[in-house]
Every structure is written in structure tokens, then in C-alpha cells.
Amino acid sequence: MAELRRIRTMLVPLLIALLATLTVADDCGRDFQGKCSCGFQMYNYRTQYVVNCTNTGFRDTLVLERLPLQTEVVIFNGNYVKELPWNVFGALNDLANLTIVDMSNNHIHEIRGKSYHHVPNVRRLILNHNNLSISRYDDEEFNHHHPRVFSNFINLQELHLTNAFADNTSAELSADLHDIFVNSNLTKLVKLHLEQNEIVQFNDKRVFCDLPSLLDLHLGDNLLTELNFNLSCMPRLRFLDLERNRFESVRVQDLNLLDTVQAQPGRTIPLTVDFTYNPFVCDCGLYPLFDWLDRTNVTVRNRDGLVCLRNRQVREPIRTLNVGRCRKQVASSGGGSGGATGHTTTLVFVLVCLSCVLLALVGGLLYVSKDKLRGVLTPVVDSVSKKVHYTTIKDEEAPEQYV
């Protein structure tokens, strides 16, 4: 009996999923022009009511105002909609079941502040591979910066912005993002994806500090060379994705910052960081990372598989580097605390050496030219001596004038 009960428990969900799949309707109604599919199907490992309008050629979002009220997932991909109008899902719709919105690859350039309404229960918003402009400086005529663009996603947990921004996005991208995060009140956001956005640095150091629940920050496939943003303000951060960036080494202060985040009071899960596929250079500049890997409490994904490049060609595992010379160099510079002391000592040594060389050259020049200098200086010395002698005689004879 127990075995039959177990089999029944396994088969019932499968039958429900099969029936749900069979009930998918190819036609969502006249408004969808027969281009979309609507109905129950397996999505994200469970049966949900999905409206799928992929590669349908729509040039506006009017069909999304006619979504069935039971809709749980909206997939609107591969269309051509440059601008999202107000109330994309209609002004009157009450989409209480809507939890996932995927609007990737639609050439979207602008999302207005009131584009998304009636989305209080959406948990995942995907806007990957668009052409978003969020800066007030990108266009001289139009201001594309709408700080409250995500303000109605009060329960949003995942925001996917991979390759989402225009190629000519302002260098102030971090400030624009921070402004949006502040005004959108994304207090429940746990996953943020910003891969493939050609980010070189974050000019606003507090760009992520208004995301208090953030667990996973994905910054892979960008152009970062250092951690120049605040990590300490994210006490729950558990995963930092830095793979495929431009790190040739990792600064001591960045490694210390990761240790500080890991050591924050109340942390129950380890911080994990991923440096995989960065172009590390096999020289002493990599020693801080080599040393840190052995002593840190931070979990480094693929730690033993990290490699560096020698002469920009040969790949070597970082963990097998011969760093004996680097250790001596660090020890002679005061233990490598920040590197400033070592650099100062080297600079003083070089200056002293240059001064000695300069004095030696001057001395040598004087010695070689001693005969010429004697010929030039002898008349001058004789003239000065005569003047001194004459003055002395006058001084000695002066009292006799008053006798």
C-alpha cells in the first residue's frame, strides 16, 4: 500500500502538468491577431498560465492591455517597441496573479515613469537585450531619466538588466541607476543582473546601497578593473559575480573590503565571489590575490581553477605560481601594507643614487678642467687679493691723519 501511495504521489503532478500542457490555446482572442499563445503550461518548474508573444512582429504593446485576468507569466520577446507608453497592461486591469514579466529583446529605448501599473505581485522582471536610455544627458531634446520607473514593483525580487542599456549610455550610469533604486523602493530585491553593459567603473560609490535585501549581484562580462563601489552597505550580500571582466590583478584594498563584508556581525552564510575568466597577469602584482586565497574566509568560486597569463599568451594556474621573489619583495617593503611604504623607500633610494651620480660627475668635470679653471680664476684671485691688500693699508694709515 505504501508503494502504491508513493507511485500515486509521483504520478498525480505529472498528469496535471500533462493536462495543463494539452489545454494551451493557440489563439488568445481576436485582439492578439492569432500571433500569441495563451493557457496553462509548465514554466519555471511549475504549471502556470502563460501568455507568450515571441517574435510576433508587434510594434506596440496594445495587446498587453487585453491580457486574461488569470495570467501569471507574460513573455513578450523579439518585437519592436522603442517606447513603452503609460499603463502597458491597461489602466483598469487587475492582474493579481501576474508574477513574471519578460520583455527582452524588444529594442526598448525608453520606459516612462508610469509605464508599469497593476504589477504589485510581480516577482521577476526581465528586460535583457534592449537599448534602454536612463540618463538625462543622453539626448539634448528629450530627458529619458525616469527615477520612478520601477516604483510599482513593490514585491520585485529579481531584476534582469543584462545587455539592457544603450551603447552610448552616459558615463554617469551608476548615478542614474542609484537614482532609480532610491526612488523605486526596491526593498525586496534579492537578485540584480547587470552583465554585458560595458561598465568600466561606478562613479557613484553608493549605487547599490538602497537595495537592503540584495543577495546576488551579477556584474559579469563588463570592463571592471577594480571594486570602486561600496559593498559594506549590503549586509546580506552572498554572491558577487565578477567573471569575464578586466582584472589583471586585485588591489589589496579590494581584497580587504571583501574580508570586511564577510566578517560583518550577524552574517550566517559565506560571501562568494567569482573571478573566473579575468585576464590576470602572471607577475608580482598578483601576489596579494595569491596570498589572500590561502587565508580568506570568503568563498572563491573555482579557486583552484583560476589562471593567469604569462606574456599575454601562456596560461598558468594561479595556485602554482612561484612567488618566492614576490614574498621577499613584500617583506622588504614592510609586509605589503598598502604598498605605500615600499614605494616611498624605493623612491628615496633612487633619489640618493641619482644625487651621488650627479656629485661624481661634477667632481670629475672639475678635475678634468682644473688647468682651464686655474687660468681663469688666478687673475680674479690676484685682483681680489690686491684690493684686499690696498684696503688693509688704507685702514692702517687712517689713524695718522688724526694725529
Tell me which of 146 and 214 has the higher pLDDT.
214
- pLDDT at residue 390 in the model: 43
pLDDT digits (tens, 9 = 90+) for 260-306: 999 998 888 899 999 999 999 999 999 999 999 999 999 999 999 99
Residue 274 β-bridge partners: 241
pLDDT band at residue 63 under the 50/70/90 scheme: very high
Query: What's residue 286's pLDDT?
Result: 94
- Degrees, nearest 5: CA angle 146-149-155: 155
CATH 3.40.50.720 fits 23-333, yes or no: no
Mean pLDDT of 211-233: 95
Which residues make Cβ contacts (< 8 Å) with residue 160, sequence separation at least 6? Answer: 104, 124, 125, 126, 127, 128, 193
Q: How many whole angstroms separate alpha carbon 107 and alpha carbon 99?
A: 23
Residues 95 and 71: their CA atoms lie apart, in Å, by 7
What are the DSSP calls for 178-216, one per residue? HHHHHHHT-TT--EEE-TTS-----SSTTTTTT-TT--E
Higher pLDDT, 368 or 134: 134
Mean pLDDT check: name the lowest of 84-88, 130-134, 341-345. 341-345
Instruction: Report which residue type is found at 221.
Output: D
Kind and range of the H or E element at 25?
Answer: none
Higher pLDDT, 371 or 219: 219
Closest by CA to 288, choosing from 317, 329, 316, is 329
6-16: average pLDDT:
50
Whole-number Å distance between alpha carbons of 79 and 86: 18
Q: What is the pLDDT of residue 98?
A: 96
Model pTM?
0.75
CB 90 within 8 Å of CB 119: no
Nearest alpha-carbon partner for 238 in 216, 211, 267? 216
Q: How many residues does the chain have?
A: 403
pLDDT digits (tens, 9 = 90+) for 23-57: 444 568 888 888 999 999 999 899 999 999 999 99
Q: Terminus-to-terminus CA distance in the chain, angstroms?
A: 150
Q: Where along the chain do its domains lie?
A: 23-333
Q: Which residue has the higher pLDDT, 313 or 350?
A: 313
Q: Are 124 and 154 in contact (CB under 8 A)?
A: no
d(CA 98, CA 118): 9
* pLDDT (0 to 100) of residue 330: 62
pLDDT value for 50:
97
pLDDT digits 0-9 by tens, 165-219: 987 676 778 888 998 898 888 999 999 999 999 999 998 999 999 999 999 999 9
- Reported as type and span, the H/E element at residue 254 is helix 252-262
Q: Side-chain half-sphere of 400: how many Cα atoms within 13 Å?
A: 5
Give the span between the Cα atoms of 275 and 48, in whole angstroms. Answer: 37
> Mean pLDDT over all residues of the chain?
82
Judge whether residue 385 has pLDDT over 60: no
pLDDT of 26: 55
- Residue 312: predicted pLDDT: 79
In tens, the pLDDT along 12-31 reads: 444 444 444 444 445 688 88
| Per-residue pLDDT reduced to its tens digit, 155-167 | 999 999 999 998 7
Q: Is the pLDDT of residue 399 over 60?
A: no
Predicted local distance difference test score (pLDDT) of residue 10:
54
Calpha distance 270→180 (Å, rounded): 29
331-340 pLDDT, tens per residue? 665 544 444 4
Among 119-123, 230-234, 392-396, the minimum mean pLDDT is found in 392-396
